[in-house]
Amino acid sequence: MGIKEAKKIIMETFANTARRLGQSELVGYIYGALFLSGRPMSLGEIAEITGYSLSHVSSAMRVLEGVGLVQRVKKPGDRKAYFIATKNFSEWRSSAFYEKILRDIDETRENLLRALKELEHEKGSEVEEIKKKLEIALKRNEVARKLLTLIMQFRSEEELLHVLEKCSK
């Protein structure tokens, strides 16, 4: 049961990641199926592997294409659309995936600043406590933005890992 269980773990890991990012678990299952397959797959094949309907798979595939995690490919002489998972770090980096995270970080910052502005003229110990928490959240938000921006500058995962290894010595 080793390989079957390993594949199940991988698929569930991608599904959980998709849920944490606010997407349907199907998005993760599809990416997992493509990641494991190593070859282009049709919508029908993906539906069969995931156990979801063709219409659900098609809708989720639009999400995955939109964020650049899958790519549509054509096979010569075949009218069907096939899909592959992008596995290369630079493909992920260049996709809208990171841009979405950056937008979320920036939106969070704007909301934290708005909340701080609302407390500008307020007094009291509760107000001061909330202000402290907001300041801490803003600092963490800035660290997250800087880290993500830094990661996006690397051309490959190997380059990123090499730099991180040098820094850790």
d(CA 116, CA 121): 10
Tell me the whole-structure pTM to 2 decimals.
0.59
Per-residue pLDDT of the chain (169 residues; tens, 9 = 90+): 688 888 888 888 888 888 887 788 999 899 889 988 889 999 999 999 999 999 999 999 998 888 778 889 988 888 898 999 886 545 554 555 677 788 899 999 999 999 999 999 999 999 999 999 999 999 999 999 999 888 878 777 788 889 889 988 8
Please give the C-alpha separations between residue 112 and each of 131, 143, 147, in angstroms, as whole numbers: 10, 15, 19
Q: Choose among 33, 36, 29, 34: nearest CA to 14.
A: 29
* CA–CA gap between residue 167 and residue 169 (Å, rounded): 6
Non-local (6+) Cβ contacts of 18 within 8 A are 24, 25, 26, 27, 28, 29, 31
Q: H helices then E strands: how many in the chain?
A: 8, 3
Task: Give me the pLDDT at residue 116, please.
Answer: 92
Of 84, 81, 86, give the one whose Cα is nearest residue 43.
Answer: 81
Angle at alpha carbon of residue 120, lines to 115 and 123, rounded to 5°: 110
